């Protein structure tokens, strides 16, 4: 990394960040699970993509009750994924290639195999060990509150001595008690542990949930079905949660450049401002485009609102079309428009609406070109650069997501976006590893492989490479100005004569008389076809 880049404290504001779900990226030791050495062996792919940073989803020791988001030891590497030495090698290799790394911190809950949870179970009611988690008595044989867990079922599980512990997610993910000073100190130690090893920042899992109001009287009756994490007054976004992040900011600022962080906070848009402020985490995910229809008006509103919110927080905005929790956007955009919203992970391949994949892909390319032209940080999810669709129809006995087991079977869960990447056209697991893959890859996977797409000049991969590289060249500041445009069309200008014209409509429109530097699909003479985006270079007027 060049010396100026190393000291640039603002690197994250306009970064292209690539999310790696480590178990599904590349498998170096042939056990069917991706690992850290696998990532290191594929750094050339990341270099070619031109990304600024990698966000690594959890790679810590875990029983995998929730794909690694059940952490049994926050300061170690899952032996199936490698060692701390492998981690150091990965960080060095990325840094040598000018790529930063942020790691996932999961502070709302641990895994049930965590030493402190095991100690809490052994120590019994009223002990200091139990106070690190949220244990309660309940007068009758009902859970202390009627809350439902995010993956289905009640949010409390009873232990043999009669007490109940709270888990907003799976029973294997007991919630920490953030009123306990030992918990606060332990997480600060974790932040320093990884910062000392050279990580550049952190992605904070469900940052809004850490503090809970369990003061009496606890609600009785049944509200399991109506529970909404974003707005539940006793569970989400309590004012005291921000004290935690103000404390973390002090830790981040012990380093030079300061470590950065991005909050995953499922809260109403206006409430994101505090998490993203420079006195707290510094940035927060905006998930609006994950839920947005493919529609110019909706995009314009989302862009306007989020640039305004980001300015209010003193941060930059973030943009996301796919991640490890959502149906991949090629598939989402191929659904009938009426089904676009509310499609979190409901596709089973059974009675689901028919997906028009060619259309989904066309729209996905157009959306990506629009997203990469926006000011702020672009978060990409592994495999979207290959145009991977969601894998539907994974056999029930091969599913892994707790959502599937606890719904039960009603919501198929998130495995379809976590299927291991294809690297080669043929071969065992399409180059993912030498011995199969932990989730089944469909037979068509080779067509999407890095090898196949490298050879095809019109591939999604070559389009991403070109777009990311041009973005770096063209991006000079964080300003954006909307231009007048017809309904169904989004047109905005960035400083230096860079414009983005996105035709969300179903009809062609005239292309202006300026140089096209990037096109998400084939152009038709002087026409911009339906569902296609271009970047233009327009002469700047010197004043
Ligand atoms: C976040 C993660 C998700 C995980 C959940 C519980 O939403 O993105 O994958 O299941 O938190 O940790």
Q: Largest alpha-carbon pair distance within the chain?
A: 78
- Is the distance from CB of 364 to CB of 387 less than 8 angstroms? yes
Exposed, middle or buried: residue 339 (CB in 10 Å: 0-12, 13-18, 19+)?
middle
Domain residue extents for the chain:
8-109+181-465, 115-166, 479-537
pLDDT per position as a tens digit, 123-176: 999 999 999 999 999 988 889 988 888 888 889 999 999 999 999 999 999 999
pLDDT at 342: 45
DSSP assigned state of 541: P
Q: Which helix (H) or strand (E) holds 207?
A: none
pLDDT at 408: 82
Whether 524 is a known active-site residue: answer no
* Residues above pLDDT 90, as percent of the chain: 84
What average pLDDT does this structure show over 229-250? 92
pLDDT per position as a tens digit, 182-206: 999 999 999 999 999 999 999 999 9
DSSP assigned state of 150: T
Distance from Cα 466 to the centre of ligand 1, integer Å: 32
Q: Considering the domain 479-537 in this protein, what is its CATH number? A: 2.60.40.1180
Confidence bin at 346 (pLDDT 50/70/90):
low
Rounded Cα distance between 55 and 263, Å, is 13
DSSP assigned state of 337: G
Q: Considering the domain 115-166 in this protein, what is its CATH number? A: 3.90.400.10
pLDDT at 183: 98
Rounded Cα distance between 307 and 376, Å, is 8
Distance from Cα 525 to the centre of ligand 1, integer Å: 46
Of residues 537 and 229, more confidence is placed in 537
Distance from Cα 66 to the centre of ligand 1, integer Å: 8
Q: Which atom of ligand 1 is nearest to the CA of 323?
A: 8
Give nearest CA residue, ligand 1 atom 9: 325
Distance from Cα 207 to the centre of ligand 1, integer Å: 10
> Which CATH superfamily groups domain 8-109+181-465?
Glycosidases (3.20.20.80)
Q: Which atom of ligand 1 is nearest to the CA of 70?
A: 12
pLDDT at 343 over 80: no
Residue from 205, 264, 288, 384 carrying the catalytic annotation: 205
pLDDT at 340 over 80: no
**Beta-ladder partners of 537:** 498, 515
Return the half-sphere exposure (C-beta side, CA atoms, 13 A cut-off) of residue 282. 22
pLDDT at 407: 82
For the Cβ of 66 lying below 6 angstroms from any atom of ligand 1, the answer is yes
pLDDT at 224: 53
- Is the distance from CB of 286 to CB of 377 less than 8 angstroms? no
pLDDT per position as a tens digit, 519-541: 999 999 999 999 999 999 998 87
Give nearest CA residue, ligand 1 atom 12: 69
For the Cβ of 69 lying below 6 angstroms from any atom of ligand 1, the answer is yes
* Residues above pLDDT 70, as percent of the chain: 93
The residue among 207, 192, 194 whose CA lies nearest residue 243 is: 207
What average pLDDT does this structure show over 348-377? 89
Whether 205 is a known active-site residue: answer yes
Mean per-residue pLDDT over the chain, rounded: 93
For the Cβ of 209 lying below 6 angstroms from any atom of ligand 1, the answer is no
Confidence bin at 412 (pLDDT 50/70/90):
confident
For the Cβ of 106 lying below 6 angstroms from any atom of ligand 1, the answer is yes
What average pLDDT does this structure show over 337-341? 62
The residue among 421, 361, 350 whose CA lies nearest residue 392 is: 350
pLDDT at 350: 57
For the Cβ of 175 lying below 6 angstroms from any atom of ligand 1, the answer is no
Confidence bin at 328 (pLDDT 50/70/90):
very high
Cα 9 from chain centre? 22
pLDDT at 409: 79
Residue from 85, 88, 254, 426 carrying the catalytic annotation: 254
Confidence bin at 231 (pLDDT 50/70/90):
confident
- Classified as helix, coil or strand, 353 is coil
For the Cβ of 266 lying below 6 angstroms from any atom of ligand 1, the answer is no
What average pLDDT does this structure show over 30-55? 98
For the Cβ of 205 lying below 6 angstroms from any atom of ligand 1, the answer is yes
Q: What are phi and psi of 510, to 5 degrees?
A: -70, 140
pLDDT at 236: 93
Give nearest CA residue, ligand 1 atom 7: 206
Distance from Cα 296 to the centre of ligand 1, integer Å: 30
Confidence bin at 232 (pLDDT 50/70/90):
confident
For the Cβ of 170 lying below 6 angstroms from any atom of ligand 1, the answer is no
Return the half-sphere exposure (C-beta side, CA atoms, 13 A cut-off) of residue 186. 20
pLDDT at 447 over 90: yes
H-type alpha helices, 217-287: 241-252, 272-276
pLDDT per position as a tens digit, 473-523: 999 999 999 999 999 999 999 999 999 999 999 999 999 999 999 999 999
């Amino acid at each position: 990394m060049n010396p100026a880049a190393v000291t640039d404290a603002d690197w994250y504001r306009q970064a292209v960040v690539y999310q790696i779900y480590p178990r599904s990226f590349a498998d170096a030791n042939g056990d069917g699970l991706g690992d850290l050495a696998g990532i290191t062996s594929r750094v050339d792919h990341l270099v070619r993509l031109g990304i600024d940073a990698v966000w690594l989803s959890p790679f810590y020791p875990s029983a995998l009750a929730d794909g690694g988001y059940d952490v049994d030891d926050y300061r170690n590497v899952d032996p199936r994924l490698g060692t701390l030495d492998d981690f150091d090698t990965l960080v060095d290799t990325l840094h040598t290639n000018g790529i930063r790394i942020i790691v996932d911190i999961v502070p709302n809950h641990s895994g049930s195999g965590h030493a402190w949870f095991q100690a809490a179970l052994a120590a019994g009611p009223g002990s200091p060990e139990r106070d690190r988690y949220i244990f309660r008595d309940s007068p009758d044989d009902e859970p202390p509150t009627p809350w439902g867990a995010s993956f289905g079922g009640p949010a409390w599980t009873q232990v043999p001595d009669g007490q109940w512990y709270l888990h907003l997610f799976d029973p294997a993910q007991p919630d920490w008690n953030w009123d306990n000073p030992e918990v606060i100190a332990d997480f600060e130690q974790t932040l320093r542990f990884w910062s000392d090893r050279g990580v550049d920042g952190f992605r904070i899992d469900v940052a809004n949930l850490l503090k809970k109001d369990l003061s009496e009287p606890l609600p009785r009756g049944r509200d399991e079905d109506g529970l909404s994490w974003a707005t539940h007054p006793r569970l989400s976004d309590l004012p005291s949660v921000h004290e935690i992040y103000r404390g973390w900011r002090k830790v981040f600022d012990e380093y030079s450049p300061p470590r950065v962080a991005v909050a995953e906070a499922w809260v109403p848009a206006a409430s994101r401002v505090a998490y993203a402020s420079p006195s707290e985490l510094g940035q927060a995910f905006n998930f609006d485009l994950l839920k947005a229809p493919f529609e110019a008006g909706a995009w314009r509103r989302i862009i306007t609102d989020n640039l305004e919110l980001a300015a209010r927080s003193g941060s930059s905005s973030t943009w996301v079309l796919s991640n490890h929790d959502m149906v991949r956007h090629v598939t989402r955009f191929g659904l009938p428009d009426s089904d676009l919203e509310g499609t979190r992970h409901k596709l089973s391949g059974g009675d689901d609406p028919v997906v028009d994949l060619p259309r989904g892909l066309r729209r996905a390319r157009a959306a990506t070109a629009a997203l990469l032209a926006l000011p702020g940080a672009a978060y990409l999810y592994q495999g979207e650069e290959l145009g991977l669709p969601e894998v539907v129809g994974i056999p029930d006995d091969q599913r892994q997501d707790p959502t599937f087991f606890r719904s039960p079977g009603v919501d198929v869960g998130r495995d379809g976006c976590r299927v291991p990447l294809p690297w080669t056209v043929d071969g065992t697991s399409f180059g993912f590893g030498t011995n199969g893959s932990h989730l089944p890859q469909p037979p068509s996977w080779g067509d999407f492989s890095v090898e196949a797409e490298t050879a095809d000049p019109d591939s999604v991969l070559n389009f991403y490479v070109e777009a990311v590289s041009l973005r770096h060249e063209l991006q000079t500041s964080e300003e954006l100005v909307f231009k007048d445009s017809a309904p169904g069309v989004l047109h905005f200008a960035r400083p230096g004569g860079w414009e983005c014209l996105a035709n969300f409509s179903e009809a062609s429109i005239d292309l202006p008389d300026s140089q096209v530097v990037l096109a998400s699909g084939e152009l038709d003479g002087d026409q911009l076809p339906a569902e296609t985006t271009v970047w233009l270079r327009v002469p700047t007027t010197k004043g």
